[in-house]
Amino acid sequence: MSIMKYLSKDNIQLLDLSDEIILTIMNKVKPRVLLLCSIITIGNNRLEQLALDKCQAIDLTCNYFQLQDQSLFQRRFYSHVMPRIFNNIQSLTLYIQHLPDIVTFAEKNSNRILPNLIHLKIMLCRRNPKTWTSFILGSGIYSVFRHCPLVSTVPNLIRLTGSSSGEILSSFCSSTLIPSIISFELDDDCVLPHVSNDYYLFFPQSIQLSHIQITLCYIDDCICLLKQLGSQLYSLIVNIVYVDDTTTCIISKIPLILCPNLKQLTMTIYRNFVNYKKCIVPLLQRLSNVEYLTLLLAIGEKGGIPNHFIDGYDLENDFISYMPHLCQFNFHIRSILENAPHVELDTIRQSFFRRQQQSIDCTLDYFNNNYGQCQIYSLPFIGTRLEFISNRFPLFDTTNTFCMVTMLLLFDDIKPFESIFFERIAQALPHLKILEVFNKLEQQEKITAMTNSLKFTHLTTLILFDIHMDYAEQLLCRTCLPCLNELAIRNDILLAIIAQDQYQTRNNCSRVERLRTSEPLYESLNVLRNYFPPDSYVKHEKEIQTT
């Protein structure tokens, strides 16, 4: 290894430095495991001890696949480094593919345990093995939910049910490494297998587990988890994908939940659901000892209860009054109604008069598709995503309220998004990574727009399925996208953009590693060759079905 060779050659000069300077140099070596592989067992006790003192937290999620000596690294890490550090490891972050290697090492070398491991974070490896850039979009971009009004389908979640990764995780959760773990985190985009009965335990060996951060497929799973581990939980961060299919049988188990020690709860449900009163409210009422509560929800659509926009009165009466110890409540709640009755914005604001000690704001939209939408949120804004944002949303306030947002879904069927709107987005959302546009209305300010030169510095994913041609020209022809990695676009618009053969378009498209189209390209694939990298086109699901 290059680091090993460097240290072996120059360790005399390095040892002339103080411990503080050596540690400063070590801290600059990323990833740290490469440093450990370079120093452990090279014969210098001082360097080894300085390195060992810093190995309480180990991260195995770097891009080892790009190393020329990857196999050497893996062998050396498990044969030389792990035997020296396994007693030190308190926190471990790794890709799910590494779990069997960790278990195997523990079985052979450390009496089947890592004695001081208390925090475990498991990640998926959803990256291009050559460039190491992450992927957000999957076949879920073609979901039937996409055609439902005001329903989000991004990002694409990976279900572990029936997969090799699911088997790896299930086996690991039953291993002897689990009992010592206090804090467990699973990649937000990774959905744990659905639990269909009480006999299956999520973490059968987790006798000390008190802090959990996971994504579950159904609210049923959340209820089962709380029923199983509720008495020992202190903190729960849970993302729930579906609530719609909740059964009466599962809801009847809510009164059996006991969580006397649960102090911190974050619940995220970004896909619209209708069982707010039937399921979410009674569940929250059972969690009466919560002190720190965060709710990120999308409620309603049609046929649901309540039949009005969620406001401050609902929050107070439904669960806040059941939480006498609540000292901090952050939220962003988007409620959607078909044929929504007209409500004044001040009426929504006044419903929060009991919580005057907390800054709160709200917005209202009534769209031409007969749907209305109300968004209520605490300040400072704690979410990282905004969905179905119209021209009327106060995105460009002077306090940079939404500056930490990384995912934005724009929707408007009343007014087009003009060029100045995108200019302001670039300023207001400096960390934006994912952008999707729903707007089929033609821009009205094209003459001034031609002189614009925009730049979205961190934008990696762009979705342009349901748009007017103007927005493709705006974002691909007149905007610099230096980090664009994924593009989903309607076929006819893509071909029209390519036909214009503009420099900025060619420059943006040359970076795209995954291209998805609304329909199969079939005979038009040849036109992509001069615009997109080889193998960037991902077959449409219809093409896969016919092969």
Q: What is the 3-state secondary structure of 212-251?
A: EEEEEEEHHHHHHHHHHHHHHCCEEEEEEEECCCCCHHHH
Radius of gyration, CA atoms only, the chain: 26
Decide the pairing of beta strands 183-186 and 211-218: parallel
Q: What is the pLDDT of residues 16-59, one digit of tens each?
A: 788 888 878 777 777 777 778 778 777 777 887 887 777 788 88
Residue 74, pLDDT above cutoff 60: yes
Domain boundaries, the chain: 1-85, 90-126+156-193, 215-383, 401-546
Question: Which range is least confidently modeled, 8-17, 21-30, 305-314?
Answer: 8-17
Given a cut of 80, whether residue 368 has pLDDT beyond it is yes
441-471 per-position pLDDT tens digit = 999 987 554 555 789 999 999 999 999 999 9
User: What is the pLDDT, as a whole number, of residue 515?
Assistant: 96
Can you tell me the distance from the alpha carbon of 473 to that of 490, in angstroms, rounded to the nearest whole number? 13
Q: Which residue reads 């401050």 in tokens? A: 312
**Range of 47-56, 297-306, 518-527 with top mean pLDDT:** 518-527
Query: In this predicted structure, what is the pLDDT of residue 517?
Result: 96
The tokens for 480 are 């610099």
Instruction: Over range 198-227, report the average pLDDT.
Output: 86
6-15, 241-250, 312-321, 521-530 — most confident range: 312-321
pTM of the model: 0.90
Torsion sign over Cα 282, 283, 288, 290: negative
* Rounded average pLDDT over 491-507: 95
CB of 64 closer than 8 Å to CB of 74: yes
Report helix angle 99-109 to 164-173, nearest 10.
30
Percentage of residues of the chain with pLDDT beyond 70: 89
